[in-house]
Amino acid sequence: MSKIKLGVSLFSYGTEYARYQYDFEECVKQAALAGASGYEIVGSQMIPSYPNVSEEFLKLVEDLRIKYGIGPEGYGASNDKGVLYDRNLNDDELLAGAILDLKAANKLGCKVMRAQYMLGSVAFEKLAPYAELYDVKVGIEIHNPDTPSSPHIQEYLNVIKKTGSKHLGFVQDFGFLAIAPNKPKWDRALSLGVKEEHLQMAADMRYAGVSLQEAMAKLQEAGAHPAINESLQGMYGYVQFRSREVLPELLEEMKEILPYTFEMHTKFHYLSEDCVEPSIPYKEILECLKDTDFDGYLMSEYEDEAYCGGELFTKRHLEMERRILGL
């Protein structure tokens, strides 16, 4: 039986935070009100002294833990190789940045740090002794369009097995389990004048494995509004989807890599009033997960592509998770 805990990535309130509607305390408060027992903080987004953690911010975090009953359990690192204008950062530079993130995660009391694929497998391997030193488990994020079986992800798995380190693993993002188009992008295209028949045509071509270039040509030939391109790019990019027929295979991939998984990002883009995510089959995913030995956090992560803020949808998301998991 799994020992699932429910948390919230404060990234879910990124719109409110960027608009100065919420400060850090309000983000933590909203996570607590949604029913989270812990939260994930994206360091570069909400730590004023990033990549360092000041004593002032640390005190704020501890004060809020007392006030709202929750604290940081996960840390989102920023492995950005494009910070220089003239070249990408090399492996050693990315490693140095990841070590700074480890120090920050340790100071905040986080036991898991999400790393991104920009931190290559070579640097990931070199990070092992530092993760052990700071006692923070580092999970490479498995994010759409990758799946656990992607060659890129298998390279990291080989490193984990090679080092034997219990501090190297994965953070699985539910986005790779999507089986339908992203609703906010679909709705935005409709609002800009794109016909639904053309959006459905685009989705059907994506399901059929038609290349992006061919799909663009066919839509142009059909007279589709140019605004369809944003939705189409998403279908072939970070919010792509696969057919429902391959869902059992993807769920098996999810389960096979669970022994190396420290945390899961329960990604969502929209939730209806009856708490249904149109593109990600949560019932099937969570029913599958609750019968495993997974011991860790499901961090609700709202991607606000509707630009409406995350408060309502995040509450709905945890309500949905509790109902399906029987928590």
Whole-number Cα distances in Å, 51 to 100, 101, 228, 240: 6, 6, 39, 32
Tens of pLDDT, residue by residue over 43-72, are 999 999 999 999 999 999 999 999 999 999
Residues 76 and 115 in one domain: yes
Q: How many domains does the chain have?
A: 2
pLDDT in tens, 296-311: 999 999 998 888 899 9
Q: Does pTM top 0.85 for this prediction?
A: yes
Considering the domain architecture, whether residues 312 and 216 belong to the same structural domain is answered as: no
Determine whether 26 is exposed, middle or buried from the number of CB atoms within 10 Å of its CB (0-12, 13-18, 19+): middle
Q: Report pLDDT for 26.
A: 98
CA distance 17 to 46: 9
Q: With beta carbons less than 8 A apart as the criterion, state whether 279 and 179 touch.
A: yes
Helix ranges restricted to H, the chain: 14-18, 24-34, 43-46, 55-68, 91-108, 121-134, 151-163, 183-191, 196-208, 212-221, 228-235, 247-256, 282-289, 311-325
Residues 156 and 66 in one domain: yes
Verify that 67 and 124 share a domain, yes or no: yes
Q: How far apart are CA 259 and CA 282, in angstroms?
A: 21
Give the end of a domain, one of 235, 251, 272.
235
Amino acid 201: pLDDT: 98
Angle at 148 between CA 94 and CA 3, to 5 degrees: 95
pLDDT digits (tens, 9 = 90+) for 85-115: 999 999 999 999 999 999 999 999 999 999 9
Which residues span the domain enclosing 224? 183-235
Based on the fold, state whether residues 106 and 70 are members of the same structural domain: yes
149 and 209 share one domain: no
CATH of the domain at 75: 3.20.20.150
For residues 165 and 68, membership in a common domain is answered with: yes
CB 94 within 8 A of CB 79: yes
pLDDT in tens, 223-243: 999 999 999 999 999 999 999
Question: Are 284 and 191 part of one and the same domain?
Answer: no
Q: What are the beta bridge partners of residue 186?
A: none
**Burial status of residue 34 (CB atoms within 10 A of its CB: 0-12, 13-18, 19 or more):** buried
Q: 164: burial class by Cβ within 10 Å (0-12, 13-18, 19+)?
A: exposed
- Which residue among 215, 235, 255 closes a domain? 235
Residues 192, 93 within the same domain: no
**Do 321 and 298 contact (CB within 8 A), yes or no?**
yes
Residues 99, 224 within the same domain: no
- Residue 242 tokens read as 């696969």
42 plus 107 within the same structural domain? yes
Q: With a cut of 90, say whether residue 262 has pLDDT above it.
A: yes
For the residues 107-133, what does the mean pLDDT come to? Answer: 96
Nearest to 316 by CA among 12, 64, 67: 12
The DSSP symbol for 249 reads: H
Q: How far is CA 13 from CA 46, 229, 307, 314, in A?
A: 11, 27, 11, 9
What pLDDT, on a 0 to 100 scale, did the predictor assign at position 42?
96
* Secondary structure letter of residue 146 according to DSSP: -
Average pLDDT over residues 30-34: 98
Same domain, 135 and 222: no
